[in-house]
Structure 1
């Protein structure tokens, strides 16, 4: 075995993981736009400053945006050089919160889209 090849494999694996994470983050940011562009436009066209409207109409997208923000913080924390002497905490908790918030928002957005679709048909 060539000396240093294990280290090179670890560096290559870390780069692949970072690329995969970046592609996944971009996909997670673009997917709601692709799926629910019309629903968001319909909700935004009927804007009125009512608490019920704001909570029922915009909470899915706020949850997804908060989830993406938490994932971004976790990604930045993990992007730092891990070979430093005093490497701090990882971004695992941020990633957990981000994934949870994003999935909750995604599920709620699916329900909001189904409700909006059923209201549009009647």
Structure 2
């Protein structure tokens, strides 16, 4: 009886962690759009194929997208059943890369938004 309730508690905790992760991922994906939609639209309205423009204007959002991609891959790897034949634990490196890239892009997007706001006021 105790083993069954323990397994049930573990499964409930796993489901709660998955739900929390999904909500956190959705919030992380929506946050840049909510915070910087004016900046993104201003950068997109000035679009031209120039290396300097592409790097300085779109690098923050590319970094955040890469971070979210790494987190999504880690989530898919962890989502698979643990009893599956090809299950491999160890998505910690992808989570580390995902969080690092996302935070780096977030910090860079903050700076890009500040620069764009200061240029808009001039």
| Shorter-chain TM-score tier | over 0.9
Q: Distance in 2 between matches of 1:67 and 1:2?
A: 41
**Post-superposition CA distance 1:80-105 (Å, at most 9, x none):** 11234663133211111111100000
1:78 maps to 2:67 = no
2:120 corresponds to: 120
**CA distance change for structure 1 residues 26 and 50 in 2, over 3 Å: closer, same or farther?**
same
Q: Kindly indicate whether residue 108 of structure 2 is the aligned counterpart of residue 90 of structure 1.
A: no
Runs of 4+ in 1 over 4 A off after TM superposition: none
Aligned residues: 122
Per-residue Cα deviation, 1:55-108 (whole angstroms, up to 9, x for no partner):
000000000001011100000000011234663133211111111100000000
Which range moved further: 1-10 or 81-90? 81-90
Q: Distance in 2 between matches of 1:59 and 1:86?
A: 36
1:3 CA drift (Å): 4.4
TM-score, structure 2 normalization: 0.94
Identify unmatched segments of 5+ residues in structure 1.
Answer: none
Q: 2:120 and 2:72 mapped to 1: Cα distance?
A: 36
| 1:86/1:59 CA distance change after superposition, 3 Å | closer
Deviates more, 1:89-98 or 1:35-44: 89-98
Stretches of structure 2 lacking an aligned partner (at least 5 in a row): none
Q: Secondary structure at the match of 2:83?
A: coil
